[in-house]
Structure 1
Amino acid sequence: MKNNKNAISGAKKAGLTRRNILRHAGLASTAALITACDNGSQTTATGAPAIIGKKRKLKMVTSWPKNFPGTGTGAERFAKRIEELFDGNVTVKVYAAGELVGALECFDAVSQGKADMYHAAEYYWQGKSSAFNFFAAVPMGMTASELTSWIRFGGGQELWDELSAQFNIKPFLGGNTGTQMGGWFQKNINTIEDFQGLRIRMPGLGGEVMKRVGATPVTKQGGEIFQALSQGNIDATEWIGPWNDLAFGFHTIVKNYYYPGIHEPGTGLSIGLNKDIWEDFSSHEKSIFTAATMSENDMTYADFNAHNARALTSLIDEHGVQLKRFSDDILKTLAEVSATVLADTASADPFSKKVFDSFSDARSSSMKWGAIAEQAFMNARSLVAK
């Protein structure tokens, strides 16, 4: 509190208008944290570090429909935060999927310098390397908190940096959707045999799991799913969760809504910055940018958790959606097939194996701790709380 008072006092002395004093004071605590990581930065009269650097106009391409809840709005929020933290010296123009490049073309655009950064999910780039899957989501993989722990403190970021550097990109976690739903199905799924012949929209390694149990996986960007489902071109689809599914209106076509989504237990969203720009940043600018991505990662996850709970209630109570759980037998089979898919993915090349080993060690450690921590607590809480 004392730091904010000093910031306000200093701002008055510096001649700032009253309208801007609180905004500068609000940034002071973040700026002070950044300064601790950047001892060489200069400071202003307020005691906050000066934002000294080039004026930059950055283009951010995304894999999401414009202003789409959680993903699209998260990208817009991140862009605004960058502009505020850089005090206007950096501006960010956000492009929705299809406005500058296609949803699945963001990686190449940033790699080649046609755009400056992207907001997407790394499994979209699995054609470049199978290892990218592990930095977004894999079947029976890690939850949001487990993934973040591996990236930040388990060696995941270093591996991700090494992988993306081959394509001239510096990667960051920039959000998480949390555990996703199993999806919308035209027919009941009572046994594993019910997947036979099913045309289901599911990307990444989850799609490979579906293929191995007899379904036909289809990759479609978000904006194409509703039409494909309504016209009968697909029989089932997963997207993200109740918040986004409600917004897309899947419930107007299908009423069977299954859980849990074993294919994406905690999907990391990513921000990829052109590496030439990253290396042109000063250490101070790098600290600011990194702090902004970490903040957005936490904000997006909280956003999804809050809105998914409300949207699920709406789908069931207001729209007659039938919430159904995959049977234990189905889940066990999907888990066994998932293990095989991950092992095959790891064998694709030495680097994928290296990432898989690190990921697996982190998942195992998280599961052991989680069993006696959050999982045990939630089991206990469910005995009395509703």
Structure 2
Amino acid sequence: MKKFMQLFAVAALISTTANAGWFGDDDKGADVTKDNTVYTLKLAETWPSNFPIFGDATKNFAKLANDMSGGRLVIKVDSKNKHKSALGIFDFVKSGQYDLGHSASYYWKGKDINTLFFTSMPFGMTTSEQHSWFEYGGGQELMDKVYSKHGMKSIIGGSTGNQMGGWFQKEINTVNDLQGLKMRIPGFAGEIMAEVGAKPTNIPAGELYTALDRGTIDALEWVGPSLDLRMGFHKVAPYYYTGWHEPSTELQFLINLEKYNSLPADLRSILITAMKLSAYEMYVQSEHESAKNWASMKKDFPNIKVKTFPKPVFDALRSANDKLLKELAAKNPLSKEIIESQANYLAKSRAWTAISDQSYLNSQSK
């Protein structure tokens, strides 16, 4: 895989000047005469030091950028342990304190409501559908429109794929069981849970187990088997629910636009290429680890009770989702544009997903 990634990176780099538009920038036809200056960029990530998968993505990115640039592009990564603000990445990059960031777009909904659409939306697109939307359905252009107002550019940063619905200390049988439930759940899904009576909150990764163990929260969603088992959530919350809220959780690389525009054109293209390649690597790593840990979970932790919300609960969540989307669209023209773009692309791509992947999987069920 590593050799393939490096070869693909070289091929992508060679084609950059002929097809710069693929990267979502405006470097087509730009002068790519390179100098020998070494450019050092600082990146702040939301994750703790050596955090698996998510942290691997930033390490892979830094190595790719350095290798592809012949050492002219050096990325220094600071984890949460150093900068001390897991959810401060937006402000770090916007202010120029850091040149780059790695986090998740929906964390910034309090700063700009339109940032929440670019991670994953409840009942929305799968990873392949969402990646197609970003690259060919106008998603990157809409993301540029949102982030350019803040002096930043956002690029896909790695998908976890479909996430599990979370760990619960009690079984959810009816919508009434969600009333007053204190749950760590970010993004638009948190708004939906509040609409049906729960009390959503957002807590950084390093504090999740303690919050659940001490009763600060009653439930949480994190990722899935790829990361959840090593966090130990199953020790304090035995009910593990299947997903609905994040069918394609895409992390992000943030770039300070002033810094980005100050780089030579070839390094700008290398930067974006390295981000997209490390994002792909993170997705396949997530899929591998989830499959491996799912098998381990069923064997080593048979007391974990895997559940799916009953249909009336799903119906209530979907109804709340539709209501809140309609309200958002009515309040904000750019929200309306993004919501309509995602809905239209989902309708088109899901018809193909249903006749291709879904039909195949249904034919294989025993």
When normalised by structure 2's length, the TM-score is 0.91
CA contact (8 A) 1:118 1:271 kept: yes
Q: Which residue of 1 aligns with 2:195?
A: 212
| 3-state SS of paired residue (1:289) | helix
Q: Which residue of 1 aligns with 2:23?
A: none
**Counterparts of 2:194 and 2:7, CA distance in 1:** 54
Percent identity of paired positions between Structure 1 and Structure 2: 36
| 1:292 pairs with 2:274 | yes
Q: Which runs of 5+ in 1 are unaligned?
A: 1-22, 43-48
Q: Which runs of 5+ in 2 are unaligned?
A: 21-27
| 1:262 pairs with 2:244 | yes
Q: Which residue of 1 aligns with 2:105?
A: 122
| 1:242 pairs with 2:225 | yes
| 1:278 pairs with 2:260 | yes
**Counterparts of 2:89 and 2:9, CA distance in 1:** 31
**Counterparts of 2:197 and 2:239, CA distance in 1:** 20
Q: Over residues 237-287 of structure 1, what are the superposed CA-to-partner deviations in whole Å (9 max), with x where a residue is unaligned?
A: 10011121112111121211111x211110111001110122123332222
CA contact (8 A) 1:229 1:237 kept: yes
| 3-state SS of paired residue (2:158) | strand
CA apart distance, 1:381? 2.1
Change (3 A) 1:156 1:53: farther
Larger Rg: 1
CA contact (8 A) 1:101 1:109 kept: no
Deviates more, 1:109-118 or 1:50-59: 50-59
Change (3 A) 1:27 1:338: closer
**Counterparts of 1:24 and 1:358, CA distance in 2:** 34
Aligned residues: 354
Change (3 A) 1:209 1:26: closer
Q: Which residue of 2 aligns with 1:12?
A: none
User: What amino acid maps onto 1:298 in structure 2?
Assistant: Y
| 1:156 pairs with 2:107 | no
Q: Which residue of 2 aligns with 1:231?
A: 214
User: What amino acid maps onto 2:262 in structure 1?
Assistant: D
| 3-state SS of paired residue (1:99) | helix
| 3-state SS of paired residue (1:373) | helix
When normalised by structure 1's length, the TM-score is 0.86
Q: Which residue of 2 aligns with 1:106?
A: 89
Q: 2:126 aligns with which of 140, 143, 158?
A: 143
Change (3 A) 1:302 1:325: same
| 3-state SS of paired residue (2:156) | strand
Change (3 A) 1:55 1:348: farther
| 1:338 pairs with 2:321 | yes
Q: 2:72 aligns with which of 65, 68, 89?
A: 89
Q: Over aligned residue pairs, what C-alpha RMSD do you find?
A: 2.1
**Counterparts of 2:6 and 2:163, CA distance in 1:** 38
User: What amino acid maps onto 1:203 in structure 2?
Assistant: P
| 1:33 pairs with 2:15 | yes
**Counterparts of 1:210 and 1:104, CA distance in 2:** 21
Q: Which residue of 2 aligns with 1:302?
A: 284
| 3-state SS of paired residue (2:83) | coil
Q: Which residue of 1 aligns with 2:342?
A: 359
**Counterparts of 1:81 and 1:291, CA distance in 2:** 9
